[in-house]
Structure 1
Amino acid sequence: MRRIRLRPVLGALRTLGYAAGLPALALLAWALATDRSASLYFPPPATIADAFVETWFGPAFTEDVLPSLGRFAAGVLLSMVIGIVAGTAIGTTRWLRDLLEPMLEFFRAVPPVVLVPVLMLMLGVGDTMRIAVIVSGCVWPVLLNTVEGVRGVDTVLTETSRSYRVRGGLSLRYVVLPAASPQIMAGIRLCLSIGLILMVISEMFASSSGLGYRIVYFQRSFMIAQMWSGIVLLGLVGVAVAGLYGIAERRVLHWYHGMREVARG
């Protein structure tokens, strides 16, 4: 019994060791490499840690970090709603898919960064423009994965639902979307990573607040330790977003992971 109870604890410790081992080695290597270095551009980790506390544990958190996270959340949520709704409509309608597929491929190939000047002219330089930049890049992985997921629903499921007269909204809710949810969640994972990148890029243009603006300000002012602290903060935000996504994915796709574990035996 004790061995059985210890297995989850040992498994959690092993996972924690794998997760923290490489960052710890990287920090150790950075500290050893910069121990006697006089380079302004690569300060030691201790200096970056001091700058991190001084910079972000204060007014900058509410003036820069929270607005950035708010724009990121708004852009990602809009992308998810637009991508899932439009992708479901396109994936379930053959003629609409044939009509829109060339145009979708064209706009998907356009880098969102080149749209920043256009969006600035159309929407100004406020939060609406920055959210639009995030949406312009984040919507595509969700939309295209939703289209492919809806198209790839097993015909046995669709025929069975028709036999039981499960159609329309009921079919979408209980058959199509659950079957397509693994691909939809994969698109959302890509959406989150792209959203963080575009959040920073959108704040580097004609902005006076946000993480992207602050990092560029530090770089132009030769505040190198503070610049590195902003990069570290972005990395920590990415880790937190990935962790929250993992929790949500486990809840949404619990049936899918259960099926995979059963298949593995």
Structure 2
Amino acid sequence: MTASRTGRLWRHWLLPVVAVVWELAARQAGAVYFPPPSTILVRLREMWFSGPPGQLFLTDEAVADLLPSLGRLMAGWALAALAGVAFGLALGRLEWLAALAEPLLHFGRSVPPSALLPVFLLLFKIGTPMQLASIVYGVVWPVLINSMDGGRHVDRGYLDTGRVFRLSAPTRLFHVILPAAAPKILAGLRLSVSLALIMMVISELYGSSEGIGHRLLEAQSEFDIPAMWAGIVLLGVLGVALNSIFLAAERGLLRRHAVARA
């Protein structure tokens, strides 16, 4: 095992320690609202991962709740990423547009996304459109702000080189401005992944009939505490997995960009 792998494993030593302490403390105290991790994991498997092999071990409940939640999360995040990068680069490169839009931009990002859920309910009614609108609104701001900052601070030498070679505007955008702003854009996208997960859950707490958030609310109303904690643990695992996948993709893109520039 290499030194780097050993270091990564060593950094995670606290997780099993916390799990063991939680297990022992919960069993000793007999706390109703804090069941031991073993009980939570058993309930997690029963709810979502005890299905047939042909269904990838997903239960019918998982298909009804987990897959729609992930679909809405990815669709909302993708829409927010496209809108945030496009408008952010436009604001970063066009000073007159930034001067007009920045006051509205700062006002909009100061409004908590959860405060607009009643508005989205009025506009889109209960269902996927309302949930997508909530996710997009909550996710778009870090992408837009970082894209604007990245587009605004492109090295002037790259731009001058593009002008000397008489590159067209689309070529300058995709081969000069976008690669130069990529580190800032990717940082905003990484922040937006966790926000997308949060907004997915919040949107499903309001009048939804499916999804992880709805299942959490249902478990809480039925005092099914292990099921409630199973949902919380699942959300934590999803957050870690999505962040890890994005970090790996980000490193690959930045490495490829560095090689291309070299």
TM-score by length of 1: 0.91
Partner of 1:38: 30
1:106 has 2:99 as partner: no
Aligned residue type for 1:39 = A
Separation of aligned partners in 1, 2:14 and 2:231: 21
Instruction: State which of 25, 48, 51 in structure 2 corresponds to 1:56.
Output: 48
Partner of 2:18: 26
1:74 has 2:75 as partner: yes
Aligned-pair Cα RMSD in Å: 1.7
**Aligned residue-pair number:** 252
Separation of aligned partners in 1, 2:259 and 2:62: 40
Secondary structure of residue in 2 paired with 1:207: coil
Which string of whole-angstrom CA distances, capped at 9 and with x for unpartnered residues, describes residues 221-243 of structure 1?
Answer: 11001110110000110011011
Contact (CA 8 Å) 2:138, 2:195: kept in 1 or not? yes
Q: Which moved more, 1:248-257 or 1:107-116?
A: 248-257
Structure 1: tracts of 5 or more residues without a match:
1-5
Q: How does 1:198-217 map to 2 (within 5 A)?
A: 198-217=199-218
Secondary structure of residue in 1 paired with 2:35: coil
Which string of whole-angstrom CA distances, capped at 9 and with x for unpartnered residues, describes residues 71-96 of structure 1?
Answer: 00000000011011111222111111
1:15 has 2:8 as partner: yes
- 1:16 Cα deviation after fit: 2.6
- 1:252 Cα deviation after fit: 1.3
Q: Percent identical across equivalent pairs? A: 42
Contact (CA 8 Å) 2:190, 2:247: kept in 1 or not? no
Q: Which moved more, 1:31-40 or 1:208-217?
A: 31-40
Partner of 1:47: 39
- 1:17 Cα deviation after fit: 3.0
Aligned residue type for 2:5 = A
Separation of aligned partners in 2, 1:121 and 1:61: 29
- 1:35 Cα deviation after fit: 2.5
Q: Which runs of 4+ in 1 moved over 4 A?
A: 255-259
Secondary structure of residue in 2 paired with 1:251: helix
- 1:46 Cα deviation after fit: 1.2
Aligned residue type for 2:43 = A
**Residues 97 and 208 (structure 1 numbering): CA distance in 2 closer, same or farther, change over 3 Å?**
same
Q: How does 1:168-247 map to 2 (within 5 A)?
A: 168-247=169-248
- 1:30 Cα deviation after fit: 0.4
Partner of 1:3: none
